[in-house]
């Protein structure tokens, strides 16, 4: 009987760990790398990594990917209760799905992948969520509740807007996939998301704005934070796939590509700034920079001369 493709991948990676080719802390191939290298489907690549995790040979690290586990951290033969031994409920399904998306990215999320994480049959999940689309919405609502807003906004509008926008940024930072889920043109009806909308409208209320202007102001502020956050997941995935941080990638590929494009006399202002060598893109700094300017602009609307 032929060995299943996922088992062949497991055997190969297990061998590389046993021989020391892959050491504790080393990144193992991501699901996308396995798909490319082995010509298998996403489900097969996911099952291979899940099997290695169940064996204790690898572990998922948020923002890094899957790495070889330290031998001292690997489970002992004595069996401990498995997740599947516990009573399954909607909360556990959602939490498991969030963990998968946090460590492996939203493309890796599937009902089968979550079932594997919980050590249960895939069909058992459908007693608690209708489908993957509903699961993703439940995930979004759950993580938006993590940075709870105070019961009442402060009296100053600027402080009030900072509270909700920083809470949103913190949530995106912890769960980079969230920015890919939320929509401005077709907003999801989520209690936690509506709480942020209500908070912003309460902050803006009473400053002489009409209803349409208040909503546009809210959407502008929400879109600003989400607009920066959409870069988080692609950067995390790129770092997992290439094994290079942003700085390492810029040194190895970005800067040489720019040097080949920018010749003498072309783009002079850009060349002058680049020659200074002082700029280092940091998304947290970008968020803070833009937030200050956004709120300065709102001051003209809310505090007219």
Q: Clarify whether residues 189 and 264 are in a common domain.
A: yes
Give the range of the structural domain holding residue 204, as residue numbers without chain letter: 148-305
Q: Clarify whether residues 155 and 268 are in a common domain.
A: yes
Question: Is 168 domain-assigned?
Answer: yes
pLDDT of the residue at 142: 96
Name the domain boundary from 73, 91, 109: 73
Question: Is 207 domain-assigned?
Answer: yes
* Measured torsion, CA atoms of residues 220, 222, 228, 232, in degrees rounded to the nearest 10: -160
pTM for the predicted model, two decimal places: 0.75
Cβ within 8 Å of residue 17, ≥6 positions away: 57, 68
pLDDT of the residue at 161: 97
For 153, the 3-state DSSP assignment is coil
pLDDT of the residue at 63: 64
Q: Clarify whether residues 186 and 53 are in a common domain.
A: no
**Nearest alpha carbon to residue 291 among 105, 167, 124, 147:** 167
Q: Clarify whether residues 112 and 54 are in a common domain.
A: no
pLDDT of the residue at 50: 79
- The DSSP element (H or E) to which 192 belongs, if any, is helix 191-204
Tokens of 46: 């996911």
What is the tally of structural domains in the chain? 3
Question: Is 78 domain-assigned?
Answer: no
Question: Is 44 domain-assigned?
Answer: yes
CATH number at residue 168: 1.10.357.10
pLDDT of the residue at 264: 75
Q: Clarify whether residues 152 and 228 are in a common domain.
A: yes
Question: Is 299 domain-assigned?
Answer: yes
Say how far apart CA 297 and CA 84 lie, in whole Å: 52
Cβ–Cβ under 8 Å, residues 196 and 209: no
Say how far apart CA 119 and CA 44 lie, in whole Å: 16
Enumerate the β-bridge partners of residue 59: 67
Parts of the chain with a pLDDT under 50: 1, 76-85
Q: Clarify whether residues 92 and 222 are in a common domain.
A: no
- The DSSP element (H or E) to which 52 belongs, if any, is helix 42-54
Q: Clarify whether residues 265 and 139 are in a common domain.
A: no
Q: Clarify whether residues 155 and 301 are in a common domain.
A: yes
Question: Is 300 domain-assigned?
Answer: yes
Name the domain boundary from 73, 102, 123: 73
Q: Clarify whether residues 124 and 198 are in a common domain.
A: no
Tokens of 273: 């700034």
Cβ–Cβ under 8 Å, residues 35 and 45: yes
Q: Clarify whether residues 126 and 26 are in a common domain.
A: no
Q: Clarify whether residues 173 and 281 are in a common domain.
A: yes
- The DSSP element (H or E) to which 195 belongs, if any, is helix 191-204
């Amino acid at each position: 009987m032929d060995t299943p493709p996922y088992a062949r991948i497991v055997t190969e990676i297990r061998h590389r760990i046993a021989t020391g080719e892959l050491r504790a802390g080393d990144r193992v191939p991501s699901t996308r790398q396995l798909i490319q290298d082995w010509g298998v489907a996403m489900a097969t690549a996911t099952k291979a990594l899940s099997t290695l995790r169940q064996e204790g040979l690898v572990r998922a690290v948020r923002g890094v990917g899957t790495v070889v586990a330290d031998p001292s951290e690997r489970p002992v033969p004595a069996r401990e209760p498995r997740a599947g031994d516990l009573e399954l409920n909607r909360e556990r399904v959602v939490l498991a799905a969030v963990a998968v998306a946090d460590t492996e990215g939203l493309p890796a999320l599937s009902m089968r992948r979550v079932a594997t994480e919980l050590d249960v049959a895939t069909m058992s999940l459908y007693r608690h969520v209708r489908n993957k689309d509903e699961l993703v919405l439940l995930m979004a609502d759950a993580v938006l509740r993590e940075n709870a807003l105070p019961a009442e906004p402060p009296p100053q509008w600027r402080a009030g807007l900072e509270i909700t926008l920083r809470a949103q940024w913190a949530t995106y930072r912890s769960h980079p996939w969230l920015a890919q889920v939320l929509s401005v043109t077709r907003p999801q009806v989520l209690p936690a998301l509506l709480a942020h909308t209500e908070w912003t409208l309460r902050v803006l209320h009473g400053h002489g704005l009409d209803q349409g202007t208040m909503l546009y102001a809210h959407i502008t502020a929400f879109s600003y934070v989400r607009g920066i956050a959409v870069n988080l997941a692609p950067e995390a995935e790129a770092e997992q796939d290439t094994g290079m941080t942003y700085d390492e990638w810029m040194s190895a590929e970005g800067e040489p590509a720019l040097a080949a494009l920018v010749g003498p006399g072309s783009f002079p202002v850009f060349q002058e700034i680049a020659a200074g060598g002082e700029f280092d893109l940091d998304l947290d700094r970008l968020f803070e920079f833009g937030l200050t300017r956004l709120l300065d602009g709102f001051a003209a609307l809310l505090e007219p001369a």
